[in-house]
């Protein structure tokens, strides 16, 4: 039993390790591998909570450790990816060139770290907020990370939105959108099911089914669309609750 109680925290540490490696690979320009490592970390993030509930070993240590791991995997690593994307596509420089070769100081890439700061604030607030048991207030950090890491995959594998790749205002929008949504006072759907009644969980089922269809048909391009659908369905559900 003593060994079993350490399983969730071990999985959380694997999440942290994935985030550290993702940050290193992102810093050296391997953005697709960094993105895959972030997705691996998010996978571990899901299962640490699952096993904690399954083994009934939930505790304050696991809660704090989970947030620290998420800050690296879903906060810092995506910020470094965004930094690199902006530096390369807008300024034709990598992170290494900006720091090591004394490139002229530029502001926009550094604004990417507003996402890491907003993630830290959200995770700290989540740990002390007792109103986020049945829904999230603001966009969860893993969802925000997926939104960001989809960008290099889309640019490398699709010509549909090439016009955005060198558009400074697109990246300003991404930074502002992510920073705001992480701590927006908006209740968003939680995919935890108290029961499987279709009527009570209709928006969750719509999200899951539409996500599967979009991922099959659009691949990486589906990820930002799914995030936007997630936010839209949450707003519709909130509106319905207010009218009851």
Express each pLDDT in 91-117 by its tens digit.
777 766 666 655 556 788 899 999 999
What pLDDT, on the 0 to 100 scale, is given for residue 194? 66
The answer to whether residue 214 scores a pLDDT higher than 80 is yes
Q: For the ranges 43-57, 114-128, 179-193, which has the lowest average pLDDT?
A: 43-57
Assess if residue 224 is contained within a domain: no
Assess if residue 241 is contained within a domain: no
For 148-206, how does the pLDDT look when each residue is reduced to its tens digit (9 = 90+)?
988 888 877 666 566 778 888 999 999 999 999 999 988 888 776 666 777 778 888 89
User: In whole numbers, what is the pLDDT of the chain averaged over residues?
Assistant: 84
- What's the domain count of the chain? 1
Assess if residue 35 is contained within a domain: yes
CB burial of residue 109 (10 Å; 0-12, 13-18, 19+): buried
pLDDT > 90 fraction of the chain, expressed in percent and rounded: 41
- Please give the DSSP secondary-structure letter assigned to residue 59: -
What pLDDT, on the 0 to 100 scale, is given for residue 81? 95
What pLDDT, on the 0 to 100 scale, is given for residue 135? 67
Assess if residue 228 is contained within a domain: no
Q: What is the CATH number of the domain that holds 46?
A: 1.20.120.1760
- Phi, then psi, of 135 in degrees rounded to 5: -155, 165
What pLDDT, on the 0 to 100 scale, is given for residue 98? 65
The answer to whether residue 22 scores a pLDDT higher than 90 is yes
Assess if residue 109 is contained within a domain: yes
Assess if residue 191 is contained within a domain: no
Range of the domain at 57: 4-185
Assess if residue 231 is contained within a domain: no
Assess if residue 233 is contained within a domain: no
Confidence of residue 237 (pLDDT cuts 50, 70, 90): confident
pLDDT > 70 fraction of the chain, expressed in percent and rounded: 82
What pLDDT, on the 0 to 100 scale, is given for residue 90? 83
What pLDDT, on the 0 to 100 scale, is given for residue 19? 96
What pLDDT, on the 0 to 100 scale, is given for residue 40? 94
Confidence of residue 57 (pLDDT cuts 50, 70, 90): low
What pLDDT, on the 0 to 100 scale, is given for residue 17? 96
- The vertex-38 CA angle with 174 and 88, nearest 5°, equals 50
| Residue count of the chain | 244
What pLDDT, on the 0 to 100 scale, is given for residue 221? 84
The answer to whether residue 234 scores a pLDDT higher than 80 is yes
DSSP string, 195-235: ---TTTTHHHHHHHHHHHHHHHHHGGGHHHHHHHHHHHHHH
Q: Model pTM?
A: 0.85
């Amino acid at each position: 039993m003593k060994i079993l109680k350490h399983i969730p925290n071990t999985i959380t540490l694997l999440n942290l390790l994935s985030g550290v490696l993702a940050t290193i690979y992102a810093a050296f320009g391997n953005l697709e591998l960094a993105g895959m490592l972030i997705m691996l970390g998010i996978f571990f993030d899901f299962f640490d909570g699952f096993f904690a509930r399954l083994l009934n070993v939930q505790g304050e240590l696991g809660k704090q450790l989970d947030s620290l791991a998420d800050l690296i995997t879903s906060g810092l690593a995506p910020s470094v990816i965004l930094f690199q994307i902006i530096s390369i596509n807008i300024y034709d420089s990598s992170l290494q060139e900006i720091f090591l070769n004394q490139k002229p100081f530029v502001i926009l890439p550094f604004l990417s770290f507003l996402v890491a700061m907003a993630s830290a604030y959200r995770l700290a607030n989540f740990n002390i907020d007792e109103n986020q048991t049945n829904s999230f207030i603001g966009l969860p950090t893993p969802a925000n990370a997926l939104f960001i890491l989809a960008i290099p995959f889309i640019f490398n594998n699709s010509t549909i939105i090439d016009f955005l790749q060198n558009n400074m205002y697109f990246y300003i929008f991404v930074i502002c959108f992510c920073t705001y949504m992480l701590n927006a006072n908006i209740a968003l759907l939680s995919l935890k099911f108290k029961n499987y009644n279709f009527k009570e969980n209709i928006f969750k089922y719509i999200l899951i089914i539409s996500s599967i269809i979009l991922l099959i048909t659009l691949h990486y391009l589906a990820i930002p669309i799914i995030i936007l659908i997630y936010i839209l369905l949450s707003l519709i559900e909130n509106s319905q609750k207010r009218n009851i």
